[in-house]
Amino acid sequence: MPQRLSIGATVFIALFCALSLYFAYAAVQGPSGILRRIQIESETQELMEQRDALRDEVAQMQNLTHRLSDEYLDLDLLDERARDVLGLIRADEIMIR
């Protein structure tokens, strides 16, 4: 005849299994779990790409600003911006839109 576990041992095993399941669930789904870490790493990668794109845009704007400054005036860029902003064209040009 198999020996039966006492009530205390059964409660201990059930409690141990419940705690093990809880900690396993928390390790995967919790606020510091594996899935949250993967999500954070993905968001970090996206934000780094946005940051790099913004840095490139800022560098481009700084270049254009420098080229239109008093210290270094790029006449071709000035002509292009005047045409674009003011809609100016020369008398001998034809504008096609």
- Long-range interactions of 2-7: CB distance < 8 A, separation 24+: none
For residue 1, pLDDT over 70 is answered with no
96/42: higher pLDDT: 42
Give yes or no for a contact between 68 and 78, defined as CB atoms under 8 angstroms apart: yes
Residue type, 39: Q
In sequence order, what are the beta bridge partners of 15?
none
Residues whose CB falls within 8 Å of the CB of residue 26, separated by 6 or more in sequence, listed in order: 33
Confidence label for 39 from pLDDT (cuts 50, 70 and 90): very high
Q: What is the pTM of this model?
A: 0.58
- Both tokens of 29, joined, read 């789904």
